[in-house]
Structure 1
Amino acid sequence: MKIAISNDHAGPEYKFAIVDYLNSIGVEVTNYGTDTPDSVDYADFGHPVATDVENGVVDFGIVICGSGNGISMTVNKHAGVRAALCWTKEIAELARQHNNANILSIPARYTSIQQAVEMVKTFLNTEFEGGRHANRIAKIPCA
């Protein structure tokens, strides 16, 4: 499995913990995020993840910013991207089951690092249910 991850200045510690987890389970990770708390623009760091998902270079993406909203809005502008802003593992599970989300957006200022890692575990271990949900996903424009 291949995953692209990115973060702005609110999320370096979250990213480090998530990458450690992903490495421990043998996932190949491409890091597009900043490694420092120095202020940056989330869009500059979100677009590379979305491009990798859009082009099939990776299986999933993970993006992190303070609220999770800005970076989620950014990546959702890309064709074929379905980023879900999640703040619990239950929402991450539903995002995969019902929405076939392919990017997990994490709000660093509103979740703990432990919660974020649990969301990643759940997101990656949950399958899309298809069926009636596939019909709904088909109604989401790709561009």
Structure 2
Amino acid sequence: MKKIVIAVDHGAFELKKRIIAHIEKKGYEVDDLGVFSTDSVDYPDMAKKACDAFLQGGYDYGIVACGTGIGISISANKIDGIRCALPQNTFAARMAREHNNANFLAFGGRIDYPESVEAMIDAFDDAQVSQEERHRRRVEKLNAMGKK
């Protein structure tokens, strides 16, 4: 069974409920790190919480969200070992996994997407990481960029 970690800020509290219901319907386990209300929190703190948990191991991927998805995706991508995509449609979600070996998705709770967040999660989830040399090489370069 797949296990997903999720953390959001107050701007995506309602979206988080939808995402969790969708993931659980697929039979996956969800580790919900919050938030648990619409009280204001800082998205960098929520990104760090989810990424730190992911890096401890045991998760297939993570999901973070804030009002737009932008701030929390930037925050997640500051952490070594995290490749967080901010897809706008199912094609981008699938390519994030296939070409970039993304291990996190970010969404905006205040964004009206042309396709549902659930459909984007499914596209990401169903995709296989490409084993083509050009994609592996690029992911290795991405990983090296975060190392000091």
TM norm structure 1: 0.92
What are the Cα deviations for residues 27-77 of structure 1, in whole angstroms up to 9, with x where unaligned?
111111212222211111111211122232311000011121111111112
Contiguous gaps of at least 5 residues in structure 2: none
CA RMSD of aligned residues (A): 1.7
**Alpha-carbon shift at residue 23 of structure 1 (Å):** 0.9
CA contact (8 A) 1:84 1:103 kept: yes
The 2-side partners of 1:55 and 1:122 are apart by 25
Q: Percent identity?
A: 36
Q: Is 1:64 aligned to residue 59 of structure 2?
A: no
The 2-side partners of 1:128 and 1:117 are apart by 20
Question: 1:1-143, aligned counterparts within 5 Å?
Answer: 1-112=2-113, 115-131=116-132, 132-140=134-142, 141=144, 142-143=146-147
The 1-side partners of 2:93 and 2:112 are apart by 13
Contiguous gaps of at least 5 residues in structure 1: none
The 1-side partners of 2:80 and 2:58 are apart by 14
The 2-side partners of 1:11 and 1:3 are apart by 17
SS at match of 1:62: strand
The 1-side partners of 2:59 and 2:95 are apart by 21
TM norm structure 2: 0.89
